[in-house]
Structure 1
Amino acid sequence: MVESAPKSRMRGPARRAVITAAALRIFAEKGYHATSLGEIARAAGVARTVMYDHFPSKRVLLLAVLQEQNAALIEYIGARITAQGTARERMRGTVDAYFGFAQSQPEARKLLFDSLNEDDPEIRTVRQGIREARTRAVAAMLAPDMREIGVDPAEPGAEAMVEFVITGLDGVAQWWEHRPEIARSTLVEGVMWLLWSGLGPRP
């Protein structure tokens, strides 16, 4: 009789990744309050007690997923902002990258940008902190291009410009969800026409 090989135990980081992936999917679909840790544990294929080894509460899990996905987004678009090429080429690549992120990671986009009606003050505070950190990170990466068009990256208006671009791109992404027949390239061309006309050198 041949004995079956023992099942290998999933290591901690791998198990944590499985849990956060399940949490992202369910939080984005149902929202924070309608989601239970037990539901996430079942979706991740782990015991609820194992969940507590990594995340002591649902709030901690949500905040961890938010931080993780925000870091992934910044890394994804940051590679395009700092790539080789002219400022216009890099801006086009960045716009396309954001729409690519929204298209391939709709749950992450929804969790990061859509209002989930959380009434937890700590969650609201952390979400606002993540938003501000994201704007500062993108502003820092765009600083050389800002200087080239005569904008001081340290002035308050510089972050406002970046916030406008980020919020505007996500608004288009939300609009696109209801019009999936529109090609991504069409969105990129339309946004680039508007952005580049508005981001020319100051008179």
Structure 2
Amino acid sequence: MTDTAQAGVGQASRGMRLPRTARRAQLLEAAQHVFVTNGYHAAAMDDIADRAGVSKPVLYQHFPGKLELYTALLETHVDELVGRVRHALASTTDNKQRVRTTVAAFYDFVNSEGEAYRMIFESDLRGEPAVQAAVDRATNESVDAITETIIADAGLDVERARLLAIGLVGMSQVSARSWLAADRPVPREDAISLIATLAWRGIGAGFPLQHPQ
């Protein structure tokens, strides 16, 4: 949503009574823009309330403080990323395609509107236990999902499967962020294919399916 459109939404919603879930979603959307634009420390609750088109008391009714608001928003992004990874793994039984869809899940998350990835991978609040726990969950639950799939299909023990999963997550996440930071020097599909091919030649060729369909 553009700044002009967002401002219009804020003005239109000022003074309106919204269902609690709708109001919470509106506040989180406003907070996303302010946190990504300014960083946590420079972001002000006044700015978030103003962008959402509500008074500060309304904002504080939903979130008792800036940290709680930031953490709630971060958790929604972690859920989104993990959901993308799980969906990618469940979308096919072809393991070569699974590698590709998993890599694509990270690229699509990093490339999505709103730059949600920055709150997970570039948070300036890692010293807060709640924030660090959420950031760790993004990696750990993605790794867990991939580990389960590798164990089921490649017959490896947990330790070896998990190490492979960590490698795939790290490769996908770091390359996706580098690709975006470099202003997408190659088309998205090409970038995903390159990383998926690299990963598949290690995982797929070295650890074939133990129980062919």
| TM-score, structure 1 normalization | 0.83
The question of 1:48 aligning with 2:52 is answered no
Specify the alignment match of 1:146 in structure 2.
Answer: 151
Task: Give the RMSD, CA atoms, in angstroms.
Answer: 2.2
1:99 to 103, 107, 110: 107
Q: In structure 2, what is the Cα distance between the partners aligned to 1:162 and 1:126?
A: 25
Assess if the C-alpha contact under 8 Å between 1:66 and 1:111 holds in 2: yes
Specify the alignment match of 1:173 in structure 2.
Answer: 176
Which amino acid is 2:50 matched to? R
Q: Which moved more, 1:160-169 or 1:176-185?
A: 160-169
Instruction: Give the fraction of aligned pairs with identical amino acids, expressed as a percent.
Output: 27
Once the 2 structures are TM-superposed, how far is the Cα of residue 173 of structure 1 from its aligned partner? 1.9
Q: Which moved more, 1:193-202 or 1:133-142?
A: 133-142
Structure 2 regions of 5+ residues with no counterpart? 1-14, 209-213
The question of 1:11 aligning with 2:19 is answered yes
Specify the alignment match of 2:192 in structure 1.
Answer: 188
Q: In structure 1, what is the Cα distance between the partners aligned to 2:18 and 2:82?
A: 29
Assess if the C-alpha contact under 8 Å between 2:89 and 2:149 holds in 1: no
1:129-185 residue CA offsets vs partner (Å, 9 max, x unmatched) = 2233233322332213234334223x2x54443333223222212222223242011
1:20 to 7, 28, 35: 28
Once the 2 structures are TM-superposed, how far is the Cα of residue 106 of structure 1 from its aligned partner? 4.8
Q: In structure 2, what is the Cα distance between the partners aligned to 1:171 and 1:139?
A: 14
Assess if the C-alpha contact under 8 Å between 2:32 and 2:114 holds in 1: no
Structure 1 regions of 5+ residues with no counterpart? 1-6
- SS where residue 78 of structure 1 aligns? helix
Assess if the C-alpha contact under 8 Å between 1:135 and 1:162 holds in 2: no
Summarize the Cα distance change of 1:105–1:112 in structure 2 as closer, same or farther, 3 Å threshold: farther
Q: In structure 2, what is the Cα distance between the partners aligned to 1:111 and 1:91?
A: 25
Summarize the Cα distance change of 1:30–1:160 in structure 2 as closer, same or farther, 3 Å threshold: farther
